[in-house]
Amino acid sequence: MNAPCSRGRLLQRLGATIVRWLQLDWIGAKRVRAYSIILLFVSLISFLGSYLQATGETGSDFLAFWSAGKLAVAGRATEVYDLAATGAIQAAIGRTNIFAFVNPPPFILFTLPFGLLNFTVAWAAWIGATYTVYLVAARRLDRTLFWPIAAYPGALVAGWHAQTGLLTGGLIAGAADLLRRRPVAAGLCIGVLVIKPHLALLFPVALAAGRHWRAFWSAGATAIVLIGITALLFGPEVLLNYRRSWQVSRFLMEMGDLPFFLRQCTVYAAVRVAVSPLAATMAQALSTLLVGAITWRAWSGPVSLEAKCAILVAAIPLATPYMFNYDLALLIVPTVWLLAQERDHPRRGWARPLLLVLYLAPLWTRALALPLGANLAPWVQFIMLGAVWRRKDSEAGVAPRQMTAT
């Protein structure tokens, strides 16, 4: 009779050991740092593929920025939205596709310096410069999490595309860090998002609800000043010509193929692929209203400013119908907040595996989208928003306890 009991106890212990292993209780601060360093350096190898694509015949998104910079340097900034003009510059270096410049006119100010360089150097310089902006801003959110921040998959995906995600992610992280101490500087960071205004939809809601009026007016003034400088340097015609890019964007949103929408990370894109354009429009409208209400409630309530910023930024991808996975570097803000919460107020159970899934989400949702033919990113984003909301009251309610240093 003792043998079955012994086997039963052995199986129970084995099951408990497996559960503890899956719950990642064995991962401490040293292992988090070590795994992050490994992830970062392994990911650097992948940039060879991005370089070969960018410098090959098909090219990459950065061609749009570089050709706009070339036109601005040549005194032809008013032509940056002309497909023939940008296409001619891209064809001159052997590219077969045309990458249209569709960013608002103030973004020309950021592309201008890179128009002075040849494409290969400009591509590397853009990634290096924008990654530096991201890393400097994001590491200030929590200096003890430097390596997880440096290796964040959302930042790595943005770097592969040489797109704007690292720059906008750095601006949003900077705003989150500065809002308490230097609200005018935080507003300046938010105002620069005029270069990609759909990422700033929820900021007026949050700042008004929280009565952060200095940041609110600073953001508005910064956006107006950037538009004014653009008109002064390049002529008011460039502002009027921006309307040409709307036709390109409208065509892509109406006629884009399946991969186009699977590369996005919005409710609109996910529902459009799964159901229909009409259902997608209705679902996105509901999502935008929902996260707007959540943002207002959080920012008007007695929640810490750090938790409010985490909720705001986690909600951004759910508020806009147009956003690609290369924009997800901004999610470092709620990710760092969740990491800090788990470090300071650990919870038993499956909190750590969930956090790992969310940390890696910009990478694995992107990798699975085309094979599955389904866009999982927005649904994972709802999970992240829910995780932040559930933990928002834990800062003051639990005595801090550090993770084991293993």
Give the pLDDT confidence of 282-297 residue by residue, as tens digits. Answer: 999 999 999 999 999 9
Dist CA 203 CA 186 (whole Å) = 11
Per-residue confidence (pLDDT) for residue 395, from 0 to 100: 59
Share of the chain above pLDDT 70, in %: 91
3-state secondary structure of 275: coil
Mean pLDDT, residues 265-285 taken together: 94
Residue 63 C-alpha from the chain's centroid: 21
Give the position of tokens 């430097």: 146
Counting Cα atoms < 13 Å in the Cβ hemisphere of 151 gives 19
- pLDDT higher than threshold 70 for residue 301: yes
Mean pLDDT, residues 48-58 taken together: 84
- pLDDT higher than threshold 60 for residue 190: yes
Query: Which band of pLDDT confidence, cut at 50, 70 and 90, is reported for residue 281?
Result: very high
Query: Which band of pLDDT confidence, cut at 50, 70 and 90, is reported for residue 135?
Result: very high
**pTM of this prediction?**
0.90
Mean pLDDT, residues 12-23 taken together: 66
Per-residue confidence (pLDDT) for residue 11, from 0 to 100: 64
Per-residue confidence (pLDDT) for residue 316, from 0 to 100: 97
Query: Which band of pLDDT confidence, cut at 50, 70 and 90, is reported for residue 405?
Result: very low
Per-residue confidence (pLDDT) for residue 406, from 0 to 100: 37
- pLDDT higher than threshold 70 for residue 248: yes
Average pLDDT, the chain: 89
Tokens of 282: 């209705």
DSSP string, 69-134: HHHHHTT-GGGTT-HHHHHHHHHTTT--S-----S-GGGHHHHGGGGGS-HHHHHHHHHHHHHHHH
Per-residue confidence (pLDDT) for residue 247, from 0 to 100: 82
Could you read off the pLDDT of 303-340 as tens digits, one per residue?
A: 999 999 999 999 999 999 999 999 999 999 999 999 99
Domain ranges of the chain: 56-390
Q: What is the DSSP letter of 324?
A: B
